[in-house]
A and B are shown apart, each in its own frame.
Chain A
Amino acid sequence: MDLVVAIGLQLLYGIANLALISLGLAIIFGMMRVINLAHGEFLMLGGYTVVVSTNAGVNIWVAMLILAPLVVGIIGVVVERLLIRWLYGRMVDTLLATWGLSLLLIGVITSIFGASTASTISPPLGVVRIGQYAISGYELFLIAVTALLLGAVWLTLRFTQLGLLARGTMQNAQMASALGVSTNRIYMITFGLGAAVTGLAGGLLAPITGVLPTIGATYIAKAFITVISGGASILAGTAAGSVLLGGINGIFTFLSGPTFGEVALLLTAIVLLRLMPRGITGRFFRKSL
């Protein structure tokens, strides 16, 4: 019984982890059709913000929950103004630009901090025991935060003025523009928000993962595949993609080890896209956000 609970929690954490690293990418892709190949580096920047600021004596919660999204959000806005806004409607060119940006960010961070940075933070919140099993309290916290984050994005899109304008712009930018909405501003804010969510995710993961300039590469493929498998809706897509892919990854990891867990995740994505060529939300939950 304890084992079932422990495995269940691990599965849930695997799913939350996937949702957490994908959400920011989904916001940017869903709203703007920009494939951000620098997404992994935004996660890395969130992690660096936390490591550098806690090494400088900032409280870890402040660093993770406030500084990381703030810093990466600002970087996102700057990137959007300087680079992305020239490329709207040219999805493929954004691939090249964000790939360049990804290399540039790795280069800048390596030049400043070296190939690695000493870290002094450990995950707070102790250990939760389930019989002979133990799971990190911090991982349970991350599950909760992911759920809250998805909820917050839903509330923003559903109930705020900004959310309304954003949804309108997403559905028909020319019409929104004709009705006096500054789509330009909406895009800027969306990109900034997407970056901030990514920064928050990177910051939250910093205490339990390695924080290195090149760490982004380990996230980008998985996030990309999850978002595309999820389909066009930001929230339902990310959630459905994460549950399906993260769940299958977790189950196969338990059964036959991490390598086959990864391969099972990838195979599922292929079969899924063959059956639903526009992703899960291209077929189900079409009206969802």
Chain B
Amino acid sequence: MALSRRQFVVGTSAFALASPALMGRAQGGGKITFASILDLSGGLDIYGTPMAEATKLAIDDINAAGGLLGREVELKLYDAQSSIQLYTQYATQAAAGDRAATVHGGITSASREAIRPTLARFKTLYFYNTQYEGGVCDFNNFNTGSTPAQTVAKVVPYAMNKFGKKVYIVAADYNYGQIIAQWMQKFVAENGGETLGVEFFPLDVTNFGPTITKIQQAKPDMVLSGLVGGAHISFYRQYAAAGMSKDIPICSTTFGIGNEHKLISAEEGNGLLAAYSYFEKVDNPVNKAFLERMDAKLGANRPAMNELSVRSYEGAMLWAEAVKKAGSIDYDPVWNALRSGLSYEGPSGKLTIDPQTNHVIQNVVLAELQNQEFNILETYADQPPADTAMVCDLVANPTLSTFYFENGLAAAGIK
């Protein structure tokens, strides 16, 4: 028989339940452990560091409000050092060693896929607070970040309306980039546009000259970017240096979450369009207070807040709301509370957990970059995770633990 890790996990989670050594997370009146695993060094730290700061603030806020169920919450923060192997290690340590009530974290999909089975095995609630390509359908895994049906689906028609129908796609050459490029092509086609070219870049490419020449040759109306990481910042700079940013605008659903808009100069970034579920200029009292507390905590060196960092804060808060509602930190009551249509009003606005997908119904904001600041153009309230909902139904089948888009959209039956 073909044995998959999934079947193995189902087998072993029963084992975990039966094993007395693993019980007892709920007993006693000591501190509640909240574990977070993020990349705080190595190439991914541009994403991980602000996420960690926001998580720390969330735990401070929870404790300042008297903790949970009268107990103090303690943050165990692990630095996975941009290594997949360390993710698995720390997930095991957090779940089986620290007996954490919940584990948050993971930045790349690879890191999430590495720790998802471990945390399911040890029945430890897992929150992945990063925007990603969609498609995870896992009873134990709550995905709070925005997905392509929420962001790409908004930015593509808006931009095509504004700039024209012909599109050139550049994306990072790994799963996320390849899948996001498929989503982009899908939404471009659905809106009557045409994709002139798609180009993928290894994560360590710093010379984008040949591609810029190809774009000049293809003469698209705009460029859609799914580039990721520090080296790819070079694309935006070289694109501007070749005088392109004034002629052919760029839209992206990855630019900004590593605070790239602060790393390139104002004139290089001006006019770029992006869509996320949060920008610093989101106008509501919760956000204002959040940014003030962040300023007070970190002072002048505060990194710009983006969806990744704010969602790390909100993910922690969503879990805390569920604990309050359940009146317990035991797995089943909290799990039920999370899936009871739980809502939380955070800096990005209202967030509601969708029990069908364990994803989050959230606001989506479209913004334009000017002078290293994103100015909000449009707000779309309460956007559902429609992409994942096409393939995933955890209400009908609450033991699923699958990543449907792992091998692209065609493999998941999406045209």
Contacts and interface: CB of A to CB of B under 8 A. Distances in A.
Q: Do chains A and B touch in the complex (CB under 8 A)?
A: yes
Interface of A: 3, 6-7, 10, 13-14, 17, 106-107, 110, 114-123, 126-127, 129, 132-136, 138-139, 205, 207-215, 217-219, 221, 250, 253-254, 257-259, 261-262
B206 A209 contact: yes
B208 to A, nearest CB: 8
Interface string B212-237: 01101101000000000011111001
Interface stretch (B5-13, B28-36, B238-246, B314-322): B238-246
Contacts of B213: 3, 6-7, 10, 133, 135, 254
19 contacts: A7-B210, A10-B209, A107-B41, A115-B49, A120-B265, A122-B237, A122-B265, A127-B241, A129-B243, A136-B242, A209-B206, A210-B237, A212-B230, A212-B263, A217-B204, A218-B206, A218-B230, A257-B200, A258-B173
Contacts of B42: 214
A257 B242 contact: no
Given A3-B217, A257-B199, A259-B173, A211 B263 contact: yes
Nearest to A262: B202
A268 B227 CA distance: 27
Contacts of B233: 209-210, 212
B207 interface: yes
Interface string B24-50: 000000000000000001110110111
Contacts of A132: 216-217, 219
Nearest to B259: A116
Given A106-B41, A136-B238, 5 more contacts: A14-B209, A120-B266, A123-B241, A127-B241, A210-B237
Given A10-B210, A133-B213, A259 B258 contact: no
B39 to A, nearest CB: 10
Interface residues of B, number: 49
Contact of B237 (A135, A209, A250): A209
Contact of B209 (A13, A123, A211): A13
A119 B372 CA distance: 10
A262 B205 contact: yes
A253 B210 contact: yes
Interface string B48-87: 1110000000000000000000000000000000000000
A10 B244 CA distance: 15
Nearest to B210: A253
B201 A258 contact: yes
Contacts of A209: 206, 231, 233-234, 237
A180 to B, nearest CB: 45
A115 B41 CA distance: 8
B301 interface: yes
A136 B241 contact: yes
Given A123-B237, A210-B231, A17 B204 contact: no
Contact of B303 (A114, A133, A219): A114
B242 A110 contact: no
B368 interface: no
A210 B244 CA distance: 18
Interface of B: 41-43, 45-46, 48-50, 173, 199-202, 204-207, 209-211, 213-214, 216-217, 219, 230-234, 237-238, 240-244, 258-259, 262-268, 301, 303, 372
B209 A210 contact: no
Contacts of A129: 243
Nearest to A246: B207
Contacts of B262: 116, 118-119
B237 A208 contact: yes
B43 A217 contact: yes
Contacts of A261: 210
A122 B49 contact: no
Contacts of B45: 110, 115, 213-214
A134 B258 CA distance: 29
Contacts of A7: 210, 213
Contacts of B210: 7, 10, 14, 250, 253-254, 258, 261
Given A209-B233, A212-B230, A122 B43 contact: no
Contacts of B204: 217-218, 221
Contact of B201 (A139, A250, A259): A259
A210 B201 CA distance: 15
Contacts of B50: 115
A201 to B, nearest CB: 12
Given A257-B199, A258-B201, A259-B202, A119 B209 contact: no
B230 A214 contact: yes
A59 to B, nearest CB: 15
A138 B241 contact: yes
B202 A135 contact: no
A246 to B, nearest CB: 9
Nearest to A137: B241
Contact of B242 (A106, A135, A217, A250): A135
Contacts of A219: 206
A266 to B, nearest CB: 11
A134 B242 contact: yes
Contacts of A135: 209, 213, 242
Contacts of A258: 173, 199-202, 205, 210-211
A140 to B, nearest CB: 11
A16 to B, nearest CB: 10
Most chain B CB atoms below 10 A, which of A107, A115, A118, A211: A115
